[in-house]
Amino acid sequence: AAARQDSTSDSGPVTVAHRGASGYAPENTLAAVKKADKLGFDWVENDVQRTKDGELVVMHDTTLARTTNAETLYPKRSPWNVADFTAKEIARLDAGSWFSDDYKGEKVPTLDQYLKYISKTGQNLLLEHKSPELYPGIEQQTLRELRSRGWLDRSHLSKRLIIQSFNATSVRATHTLDPHVKTGFLGNPKVSELDSYAQFTDQINPTHSAATKDYVDEVHKRKGPLGKRMQVFTWTVNDASTARSVDKAGVDGIISNFPDVVRDATHS
Ligand code: G3P
Ligand code: CA
Protein backbone atom coordinates (compact mmCIF):
# COMPACT_ATOMS: atom_id res chain seq x y z
CA ALA A 1 0.00 0.00 0.00
CA ALA A 2 1.12 3.53 -0.68
CA ALA A 3 2.75 5.35 2.21
CA ARG A 4 0.62 8.07 3.72
CA GLN A 5 1.91 11.59 3.97
CA ASP A 6 1.20 14.48 6.20
CA SER A 7 2.52 18.02 6.40
CA THR A 8 5.02 17.08 9.09
CA SER A 9 6.74 14.58 6.79
CA ASP A 10 10.45 15.31 6.63
CA SER A 11 11.15 13.00 3.72
CA GLY A 12 10.21 15.41 0.97
CA PRO A 13 7.38 17.71 0.07
CA VAL A 14 3.83 16.83 1.00
CA THR A 15 1.68 16.01 -2.01
CA VAL A 16 -1.79 17.53 -2.13
CA ALA A 17 -4.53 16.02 -4.30
CA HIS A 18 -5.79 19.02 -6.30
CA ARG A 19 -9.61 19.33 -6.20
CA GLY A 20 -9.31 15.72 -4.98
CA ALA A 21 -7.44 13.31 -7.25
CA SER A 22 -8.97 15.25 -10.12
CA GLY A 23 -6.93 13.60 -12.86
CA TYR A 24 -8.80 10.37 -12.08
CA ALA A 25 -12.24 11.45 -10.90
CA PRO A 26 -14.41 14.55 -11.33
CA GLU A 27 -12.89 17.54 -9.50
CA ASN A 28 -14.29 18.75 -6.19
CA THR A 29 -16.57 15.73 -5.71
CA LEU A 30 -16.56 13.11 -2.97
CA ALA A 31 -15.48 10.58 -5.63
CA ALA A 32 -12.29 12.60 -6.19
CA VAL A 33 -11.61 12.68 -2.45
CA LYS A 34 -12.24 8.95 -2.20
CA LYS A 35 -9.80 8.35 -5.03
CA ALA A 36 -7.16 10.46 -3.25
CA ASP A 37 -7.75 8.43 -0.09
CA LYS A 38 -7.41 5.14 -2.00
CA LEU A 39 -4.14 6.33 -3.51
CA GLY A 40 -2.91 7.13 0.02
CA PHE A 41 -3.13 10.92 0.08
CA ASP A 42 -3.98 12.65 3.32
CA TRP A 43 -4.16 16.14 1.88
CA VAL A 44 -6.90 17.26 -0.48
CA GLU A 45 -7.47 20.70 -1.96
CA ASN A 46 -10.93 22.06 -2.70
CA ASP A 47 -12.62 25.30 -3.72
CA VAL A 48 -15.51 26.87 -1.83
CA GLN A 49 -18.23 29.29 -2.99
CA ARG A 50 -21.72 30.28 -1.86
CA THR A 51 -25.20 29.63 -3.28
CA LYS A 52 -28.01 32.16 -3.69
CA ASP A 53 -29.55 31.03 -0.41
CA GLY A 54 -26.28 31.13 1.51
CA GLU A 55 -25.05 27.52 1.51
CA LEU A 56 -21.32 26.86 1.04
CA VAL A 57 -20.64 24.49 -1.84
CA VAL A 58 -17.52 22.90 -3.28
CA MET A 59 -16.99 24.16 -6.84
CA HIS A 60 -14.07 25.61 -8.78
CA ASP A 61 -15.59 27.73 -11.55
CA THR A 62 -17.87 30.62 -10.66
CA THR A 63 -20.37 29.12 -13.09
CA LEU A 64 -21.85 25.64 -13.09
CA ALA A 65 -21.52 25.19 -16.84
CA ARG A 66 -18.27 23.28 -17.27
CA THR A 67 -18.51 20.66 -14.54
CA THR A 68 -22.25 19.98 -14.26
CA ASN A 69 -25.30 19.46 -16.46
CA ALA A 70 -26.75 22.86 -15.43
CA GLU A 71 -27.13 24.02 -19.04
CA THR A 72 -29.33 21.01 -19.80
CA LEU A 73 -31.30 21.04 -16.58
CA TYR A 74 -31.77 24.81 -16.38
CA PRO A 75 -31.56 26.00 -20.02
CA LYS A 76 -32.84 29.51 -19.33
CA ARG A 77 -30.44 30.34 -16.50
CA SER A 78 -27.38 31.48 -18.48
CA PRO A 79 -24.58 32.14 -17.43
CA TRP A 80 -25.28 29.61 -14.65
CA ASN A 81 -23.52 31.47 -11.85
CA VAL A 82 -23.13 29.47 -8.65
CA ALA A 83 -24.39 32.55 -6.80
CA ASP A 84 -27.70 32.54 -8.75
CA PHE A 85 -28.76 29.00 -7.79
CA THR A 86 -30.16 27.69 -4.53
CA ALA A 87 -28.56 24.78 -2.73
CA LYS A 88 -31.57 22.65 -3.61
CA GLU A 89 -31.18 23.43 -7.32
CA ILE A 90 -27.47 22.65 -7.19
CA ALA A 91 -28.18 19.37 -5.37
CA ARG A 92 -30.11 18.17 -8.43
CA LEU A 93 -27.08 18.55 -10.72
CA ASP A 94 -24.90 15.79 -12.11
CA ALA A 95 -21.27 16.77 -11.48
CA GLY A 96 -19.77 13.51 -12.77
CA SER A 97 -20.98 12.80 -16.30
CA TRP A 98 -18.88 15.55 -17.91
CA PHE A 99 -15.80 13.66 -16.68
CA SER A 100 -16.89 10.12 -17.56
CA ASP A 101 -20.00 7.93 -17.55
CA ASP A 102 -18.49 6.01 -14.64
CA TYR A 103 -19.24 9.02 -12.44
CA LYS A 104 -22.78 9.71 -13.63
CA GLY A 105 -24.90 11.07 -10.78
CA GLU A 106 -21.98 12.35 -8.68
CA LYS A 107 -23.11 15.43 -6.75
CA VAL A 108 -21.76 18.90 -6.06
CA PRO A 109 -21.01 18.54 -2.33
CA THR A 110 -21.91 21.18 0.18
CA LEU A 111 -18.96 22.14 2.35
CA ASP A 112 -20.72 20.43 5.22
CA GLN A 113 -21.06 17.13 3.31
CA TYR A 114 -17.43 17.42 2.24
CA LEU A 115 -16.19 17.99 5.80
CA LYS A 116 -18.29 15.13 7.08
CA TYR A 117 -16.76 12.84 4.46
CA ILE A 118 -13.13 13.76 5.07
CA SER A 119 -13.64 13.67 8.79
CA LYS A 120 -14.46 9.98 8.28
CA THR A 121 -11.50 9.23 6.01
CA GLY A 122 -9.22 11.26 8.30
CA GLN A 123 -7.91 13.41 5.44
CA ASN A 124 -6.63 16.96 5.82
CA LEU A 125 -7.89 19.99 3.99
CA LEU A 126 -6.34 22.75 1.92
CA LEU A 127 -9.44 24.87 1.45
CA GLU A 128 -9.52 27.68 -1.10
CA HIS A 129 -11.88 30.63 -0.97
CA LYS A 130 -12.56 30.96 -4.70
CA SER A 131 -13.48 34.48 -5.88
CA PRO A 132 -14.33 35.53 -2.31
CA GLU A 133 -15.00 39.09 -3.51
CA LEU A 134 -18.30 37.69 -4.85
CA TYR A 135 -19.28 36.35 -1.43
CA PRO A 136 -18.89 38.96 1.32
CA GLY A 137 -18.41 37.40 4.73
CA ILE A 138 -17.60 33.93 3.36
CA GLU A 139 -14.49 33.64 5.55
CA GLN A 140 -16.52 33.92 8.73
CA GLN A 141 -19.10 31.47 7.44
CA THR A 142 -16.46 28.91 6.51
CA LEU A 143 -14.87 29.18 9.94
CA ARG A 144 -18.27 28.74 11.57
CA GLU A 145 -18.90 25.53 9.62
CA LEU A 146 -15.41 24.25 10.34
CA ARG A 147 -15.87 24.97 14.02
CA SER A 148 -19.18 23.15 14.18
CA ARG A 149 -17.55 20.03 12.71
CA GLY A 150 -14.65 20.21 15.20
CA TRP A 151 -12.07 21.35 12.66
CA LEU A 152 -10.87 24.31 14.72
CA ASP A 153 -9.81 22.23 17.69
CA ARG A 154 -6.49 23.84 18.58
CA SER A 155 -4.63 20.67 19.43
CA HIS A 156 -4.41 19.58 15.79
CA LEU A 157 -5.56 22.63 13.89
CA SER A 158 -2.38 23.58 12.06
CA LYS A 159 -1.70 19.97 11.05
CA ARG A 160 -4.98 19.32 9.31
CA LEU A 161 -6.23 22.58 7.86
CA ILE A 162 -4.92 25.38 5.65
CA ILE A 163 -7.15 28.10 4.20
CA GLN A 164 -5.86 29.83 1.07
CA SER A 165 -6.97 32.32 -1.58
CA PHE A 166 -5.69 34.36 -4.52
CA ASN A 167 -7.37 37.28 -2.77
CA ALA A 168 -5.01 38.72 -0.13
CA THR A 169 -7.84 40.57 1.60
CA SER A 170 -9.60 37.26 2.09
CA VAL A 171 -6.48 35.56 3.48
CA ARG A 172 -6.00 38.46 5.87
CA ALA A 173 -9.64 38.24 6.93
CA THR A 174 -9.31 34.52 7.70
CA HIS A 175 -6.18 35.18 9.75
CA THR A 176 -7.79 38.04 11.65
CA LEU A 177 -10.98 36.09 12.41
CA ASP A 178 -8.99 33.17 13.84
CA PRO A 179 -5.23 33.71 14.23
CA HIS A 180 -4.75 29.99 14.99
CA VAL A 181 -5.76 28.96 11.49
CA LYS A 182 -2.91 28.29 9.08
CA THR A 183 -3.26 30.41 5.94
CA GLY A 184 -1.90 30.48 2.39
CA PHE A 185 -1.70 33.17 -0.28
CA LEU A 186 -1.95 31.94 -3.87
CA GLY A 187 0.49 33.91 -6.01
CA ASN A 188 4.07 35.12 -5.97
CA PRO A 189 4.43 38.54 -4.37
CA LYS A 190 7.69 40.41 -4.99
CA VAL A 191 10.46 39.59 -2.52
CA SER A 192 10.20 43.18 -1.26
CA GLU A 193 6.57 42.50 -0.31
CA LEU A 194 7.13 39.22 1.54
CA ASP A 195 7.61 40.85 4.96
CA SER A 196 4.17 42.39 4.77
CA TYR A 197 2.59 39.10 3.63
CA ALA A 198 4.28 37.39 6.59
CA GLN A 199 1.97 39.38 8.85
CA PHE A 200 -1.06 37.34 7.80
CA THR A 201 -0.09 34.29 5.74
CA ASP A 202 1.87 31.18 6.70
CA GLN A 203 2.33 30.07 3.11
CA ILE A 204 3.14 31.67 -0.24
CA ASN A 205 1.75 29.35 -2.92
CA PRO A 206 2.99 30.19 -6.43
CA THR A 207 2.48 28.53 -9.77
CA HIS A 208 5.33 26.08 -10.42
CA SER A 209 7.20 28.30 -12.90
CA ALA A 210 7.60 30.91 -10.12
CA ALA A 211 8.74 28.36 -7.52
CA THR A 212 12.47 28.84 -8.13
CA LYS A 213 15.08 28.00 -5.50
CA ASP A 214 15.90 31.68 -4.96
CA TYR A 215 12.25 32.53 -4.39
CA VAL A 216 11.60 29.56 -2.11
CA ASP A 217 14.72 30.49 -0.09
CA GLU A 218 13.43 34.03 0.33
CA VAL A 219 10.06 32.79 1.59
CA HIS A 220 11.81 30.39 3.96
CA LYS A 221 13.78 33.25 5.53
CA ARG A 222 10.54 34.59 7.02
CA LYS A 223 8.27 33.45 9.80
CA GLY A 224 4.52 33.49 9.28
CA PRO A 225 1.95 34.63 11.84
CA LEU A 226 1.93 31.21 13.53
CA GLY A 227 5.61 31.80 14.36
CA LYS A 228 6.91 29.04 12.06
CA ARG A 229 9.04 29.27 8.93
CA MET A 230 6.83 30.27 6.02
CA GLN A 231 6.10 27.49 3.55
CA VAL A 232 5.69 27.18 -0.20
CA PHE A 233 3.07 24.87 -1.72
CA THR A 234 3.19 25.02 -5.51
CA TRP A 235 0.65 24.13 -8.22
CA THR A 236 -0.45 22.51 -10.44
CA VAL A 237 2.29 19.96 -11.03
CA ASN A 238 1.17 17.02 -13.11
CA ASP A 239 4.37 15.51 -14.47
CA ALA A 240 7.44 13.87 -12.94
CA SER A 241 10.05 16.24 -14.31
CA THR A 242 8.33 19.39 -13.00
CA ALA A 243 7.80 17.62 -9.69
CA ARG A 244 11.51 16.86 -9.44
CA SER A 245 12.47 20.41 -10.29
CA VAL A 246 10.20 22.05 -7.68
CA ASP A 247 11.35 19.45 -5.15
CA LYS A 248 14.93 20.51 -5.88
CA ALA A 249 13.91 24.15 -5.42
CA GLY A 250 12.90 23.18 -1.87
CA VAL A 251 9.12 23.54 -1.89
CA ASP A 252 7.20 22.20 1.10
CA GLY A 253 4.17 21.01 -0.83
CA ILE A 254 3.17 20.07 -4.37
CA ILE A 255 -0.44 20.32 -5.48
CA SER A 256 -1.35 17.87 -8.26
CA ASN A 257 -4.20 16.34 -10.23
CA PHE A 258 -2.08 13.17 -10.44
CA PRO A 259 -0.62 12.99 -6.92
CA ASP A 260 0.72 9.47 -7.40
CA VAL A 261 2.93 10.72 -10.26
CA VAL A 262 4.34 13.44 -7.99
CA ARG A 263 4.89 11.06 -5.09
CA ASP A 264 6.72 8.57 -7.29
CA ALA A 265 8.96 11.36 -8.61
CA THR A 266 9.77 12.90 -5.24
CA HIS A 267 9.70 10.02 -2.74
CA SER A 268 11.61 7.24 -4.50
O1 G3P B 1 -4.36 25.08 -4.87
C2 G3P B 1 -3.85 25.73 -5.96
C3 G3P B 1 -4.76 25.85 -7.13
O4 G3P B 1 -5.98 25.21 -6.86
C5 G3P B 1 -5.02 27.24 -7.54
O6 G3P B 1 -5.63 27.34 -8.80
O7 G3P B 1 -7.49 27.59 -10.35
O8 G3P B 1 -6.89 25.34 -9.53
O9 G3P B 1 -7.99 26.94 -8.01
P10 G3P B 1 -7.06 26.78 -9.18
CA1 CA C 1 -8.12 25.66 -6.07
The tens digit of pLDDT for each residue in 39-85 reads: 999 999 999 999 999 999 999 999 999 999 999 999 999 999 999 99
In this model, does residue 5 exceed pLDDT 90?
Answer: no
Q: Which atom of ligand 1 is nearest to the CA of 130?
A: 9
118: helix, strand or coil? helix
Measured over the CA atoms of residue 145, residue 68, residue 121 and residue 3, the dihedral's sign is negative
Q: Is the CB–ligand 1 distance for residue 235 below 6 Å?
A: yes
Q: Verify whether ligand 1 is closer than 6 Å to residue 255 (CB atom).
A: yes
Ligand 1 pocket check for 47: Cβ under 6 Å: yes
ipTM of the complex: 0.99
Cβ–Cβ under 8 Å, residues 153 and 159: no
pLDDT tens digits, one per residue of 80-107: 999 999 999 999 999 999 999 999 999 9
3-state secondary structure of 146: helix
- Examine the residue annotation and report whether 208 is marked as an active-site residue of this protein: no
- 253 burial via Cβ count (<10 Å: 0-12, 13-18, 19+): buried
pLDDT in tens, 100-109: 999 999 999 9
User: Over 50: is that where the pLDDT of 7 sits?
Assistant: no
**Which DSSP category does 3 fall into?**
P
Residue 180 a catalytic site member: no
Protein residue with least CA distance to atom 4, ligand 1: 18
Residue nearest to atom 10 of ligand 1 (CA): 60
Half-sphere exposure of 162 (CA within 13 A, CB side): 28
265 touches ligand 1 (CB under 6 Å):
no
Domain spanning 14-62+109-266, CATH class: alpha beta
Ligand 1 pocket test, candidate residues 62, 127, 186, most atoms within 8 A of CB: 186
